[in-house]
Amino acid sequence: MIKSPDLQRFDSRSCMYALRYGRSHIHGVGVFALECIPRGKKVIEYTGERLTTAQATRRYRRILSDGNRPNCLLRLNHRWILDGARHGSGAERINHSCDPNLRPKNTNGHMWFLSKRRIHIGEELTLDYRYGADLPSVRCRCGTCNCRGTINLKR
């Protein structure tokens, strides 16, 4: 079976279902399901370069000053942060929603995104980024009925 170029971008060791990149109404490019995904299943692992908190803080400051590079930093635990922009599985392209269909789960030092409900073919995969209320406010574009207005959690 010949795979399309979109499928080849996802690391098969990290991705449990057929996914594709596509244009997103939320923000630029998103990740979409090419098959139905049942509730409670591992969908994709968030991978990337492992950084200490100090390394991630320095990189985050560079990201803010650069403006062109997307922020793909995800906290794995109290010690490690993953930078999906380097050696990412494709999960770093999953957009934020205040009513997401995925949830994160740390399993033995690996961050997996699990389906919160059944995900239909063609549906965009989304997560609640849950930025801290102490961080600069980032406007949300998810368009859901219960949108907070920002990616940040409310105080």
Number of domains present in the structure of the chain:
1
Is 146 contained in some domain? no
Instruction: Report phi then psi at 133, rounded to 5.
Output: -65, -20
Domain residues for 112? 5-47+88-127
Length of the chain: 155
Enter the DSSP assignment of 6: H
Here the tokens at position 68 are 């062109």
Enter the DSSP assignment of 91: G
CA distance 136 to 133: 8
Average the pLDDT over 113-117 and give the result. Answer: 98
Is 13 contained in some domain? yes
pTM recorded for the entire structure: 0.86
Is 36 contained in some domain? yes
Percent of the chain scored above 90 by pLDDT? 59
Is 62 contained in some domain? no
pLDDT in tens, 51-81: 998 998 888 787 777 665 567 889 998 899 9
Is 93 contained in some domain? yes
pLDDT in tens, 24-56: 999 889 999 999 999 999 999 999 999 998 998
pLDDT given for residue 23 in this prediction: 95
Average the pLDDT over 78-90 and give the result. Answer: 90
Between these two residues, 132 and 14, which has the higher pLDDT value? Answer: 14
Is 40 contained in some domain? yes
CATH number at residue 23: 2.170.270.10
